[in-house]
Structure 1
Amino acid sequence: MKLLLLPRLCFCFFFLLPLGALAECECARDVQGRDSAAALRLKFVAIASILAAGAVGVIIPILGRSVSALRPESNLFFVIKAFAAGVILATGLIHILPEAFQSLTSPCLAQRPWRRFPVTGFVVMSSAIVTMMIDSFATSYYKRSHFSKARPVGEEDEENGGAASPEQVHPFDGHGHSHGHGHGSSEAAAEEASLSERIRHQVISQVLELGILVHSIIIGISLGASGNPSTIRPLVGALSFHQFFEGIGLGGCIVQASFRAKSTVVMAVFFSFTAPMGIALGIAVSSIYDETSTTALIVEGVFNAASAGILVYMALVDLLATDFTNPRLQSNGRLQLWCHLAVLVGAGLMSLLAKWA
């Protein structure tokens, strides 16, 4: 699908972000505890650990399709998606949003407009609204483009002046329609509903990945540019778990979207490599990158706020609201209870990680 270009363009664009962070700093740089050699070793460990954790997380749901208990139509899959939605919601609200507020209200920035106007909240709100618009327009566009390729059942009748063709007339049916034709219409309607749902899941998974990529590249650059081992050390484990849980959530959405094998691999690879590539980019510019410069604070703050808006919208609207209003979940009290618990566990574990990251 064309929307697969969004993560690629976004990925390429973010390589330009560090170049804007080379401006002169208005605040003094903290050089206490800096050890470039020890920090570099930890960064290489972080690249390997985060890459492995993200890859395993996103692969588990994808490979789980071969296990009946992990297929999208199973009850366990509902529970896993609820857990992943809790993780994504906590990621946006507990991990990313506070970072955005900290950056955009920093004393390094001018009083106006950064501390006179709630810029962070405005960016989050705008990001959520734009995500909703992309979500809506992309879904309607792809539905129209898919269904226009297939001729509707009644189109042939219209060309015949509204009369049924002879083969459609059943000899014992006075209405001039065969019972088989009605059965075929039901099957066509079911197939159309299935296609609509698949298109919807494809849009959801791609917009969700876009939001995750924004956040991953930012945290990768920040970690890679840091020269303090005491700052990097706790981040290695915390970000590894972070990527693992996010990978499970994204992988579940990809499975439901039923992409072709090539598109599935592309999305999984982009997710797995974005944070490690961000770390590598941070290492490359660590000598000139200043995370306390005004430009760096603005760029990181704005993109973190935008990412938070995307993830919170996706978690609440496209993941939790969609699944928790599903008739299958509504009619099964035990499954509903397990899904509620899964949301709380996912959000709680990711919130706990905020102690270290």
Structure 2
Amino acid sequence: MMLVSKICAAILLAVLRLGAGLLPLKVYQKLDKWSQRGDLKAAEKQTINKRRKRVDLFMSVFLCFGAGLLLSTCFIHMIPEVRDSFDKVIKSGQYPALEQFPFPEAIVVLGFFAVYLFEELGELLMGHGEKKKKKKKANAAGSPTVNGQSPVKMVTSDSEDDRHKLTIITVPKEDIGTRRVTEEGTDNDSDDSSHHGHNHHGHSHGPPPILSDLEERSVAAAIRGFLLVFALSFHSIFEGMAIGLQPTLKDIWFLFAAVTVHELAIMFCIGMEMLASHIRVGIYIAYMVTLGLITPIGVAIGIFVTEYFQDPTPSHTLTIGILQGVAAGTLLYVTFLEVLERERRKSGNGLIKLLSVFVGFVLLSSLEALGGHGEPTTDHQTQTTVGLSFVLQPVTTPRYTFYSPKA
């Protein structure tokens, strides 16, 4: 009966997580359509702008709410677990050097910098920095650039007869770098014709066009999405393992309910965040499927280790603590340098955004305080360590709950 309940919980969790992850795709499409839709009278700019402002506010509220959830996940849940892991290792006496330095906090910060470095390297490989320089030079010169050269040549003339000799090529901002540019003259004069022919030849045989701004944002969003999926996958596996390691039916379904509330809210908000960053739909679906299946995999691991493995070693506990610390640092980066930084740059509704972050933080922190991630019969961090098969007996303290093996 216990095994069947755990399997049912894993399957149900997979379905719910996948649904919550894919729901933003439909919601985002509906919101976008609603923001641009209107009858003949409502097609005026004023009405459309009001609708778009409402959509922007709705998106900002949800994204800030999600940032609050991530903030709570990092500071109230994951970082204390990292400290708990290191405390257990220190008490074992096998790594005395860990007492000499605040390693848990340092590992979280290293995780933050690792993600920062990874994203910067990704943008560097895309040539992001070079494209920015070209755009700055183009703006300084007063004309856009294609392949490092200006496709617009402004020629002035006071003569009425010379106007037919002018060739002015305009390239929309959104098209810069997405198509090749040619110049076709309208004058049959030999000098002008040869000049235009030369320019045409130069553009036809130049280097490949650079990525458009939208394509660049899409690639950057895919990189950030990968980092976020990477971080949340660690955390989700641990939570799934906690469910798989529960000793009673009551514990299984209580923890399942708490984890579900937590995971579904985060999946939905993360989905809205990814779509707002212009990620490609195919990549988005792949990420959501991955996240949807991760926690059930953790449940399966929890079931497996309770059947086949023995007491965890300090090395196992230390490894889990390090991985959790890196994951926490990743969530810090996403929360502060991605979501909150972008929302703060937007003008207006600052207090509403702040309230949304606060509500998300308080909601998840309240679940944590009520025992959402740890029942009296389980230690989340210890039981998610590979190799644990003991049922642990709680030893309660006023603030935290520690555990010792049953006699």
Alignment correspondent of 1:324:
344
| Contact 1:54 1:246 (C-alpha < 8 Å) held by counterparts | no
RMSD, matched Cα: 3.7
Alignment correspondent of 2:67:
85
**Could you say what secondary structure the match of 2:307 adopts?**
coil
Unaligned runs of 5+ in 1: 1-36
| Contact 2:236 2:294 (C-alpha < 8 Å) held by counterparts | yes
Alignment correspondent of 2:80:
98
State the shift of 1:256 in Å: 2.4
Alignment correspondent of 1:347:
361
Alignment correspondent of 1:65:
28
TM-score relative to the length of structure 1: 0.73
Name the amino acid aligned to 1:64: V
Match for 1:253 among 273, 277, 285?
A: 273
Unaligned runs of 5+ in 2: 36-51, 133-137, 139-143, 179-211, 374-407
Alignment correspondent of 1:76:
58
Match for 2:111 among 124, 127, 130?
A: 127
Q: Does 1:137 align with 2:121?
A: yes
1:112 and 1:243 mapped to 2: Cα distance? 36
1:172 and 1:49 mapped to 2: Cα distance? 76
Match for 2:19 among 49, 53, 56?
A: 56
1:319 and 1:163 mapped to 2: Cα distance? 36
**C-alpha distance 291-315 of structure 1, shift in aligned 2 (>3 A):** farther
TM-score relative to the length of structure 2: 0.65
Match for 2:306 among 286, 299, 303?
A: 286
1:97 and 1:177 mapped to 2: Cα distance? 69
Q: 1:225-262, CA deviations, whole angstroms, 9 ceiling, x for partnerless residues? A: 34355543431111111110110122113212434333
Alignment correspondent of 2:6:
43
**C-alpha distance 164-115 of structure 1, shift in aligned 2 (>3 A):** closer
Alignment correspondent of 2:218:
198
Q: 1:315-343, CA deviations, whole angstroms, 9 ceiling, x for partnerless residues? A: 111111122123xxx1x2xx322221111
| Contact 1:211 1:310 (C-alpha < 8 Å) held by counterparts | yes
1:177 and 1:82 mapped to 2: Cα distance? 56
Higher relative contact order (CA 8 A, sep 6+): 1
2:328 and 2:151 mapped to 1: Cα distance? 56
**Could you say what secondary structure the match of 1:349 adopts?**
helix
2:94 and 2:148 mapped to 1: Cα distance? 69
Name the amino acid aligned to 2:29: S
State the shift of 1:198 in Å: 3.4
State the shift of 1:180 in Å: 5.6
1:218 and 1:79 mapped to 2: Cα distance? 29
| Contact 1:157 1:163 (C-alpha < 8 Å) held by counterparts | no
**Could you say what secondary structure the match of 2:306 adopts?**
coil
Alignment correspondent of 1:270:
290
The equivalences for 1:10-49 within 5 A come to: 37-38=1-2, 40-49=3-12
1:126 and 1:222 mapped to 2: Cα distance? 26
More helix by share: 1
**Could you say what secondary structure the match of 2:247 adopts?**
coil
Residue-pair matches, total = 307
| Contact 1:101 1:120 (C-alpha < 8 Å) held by counterparts | yes
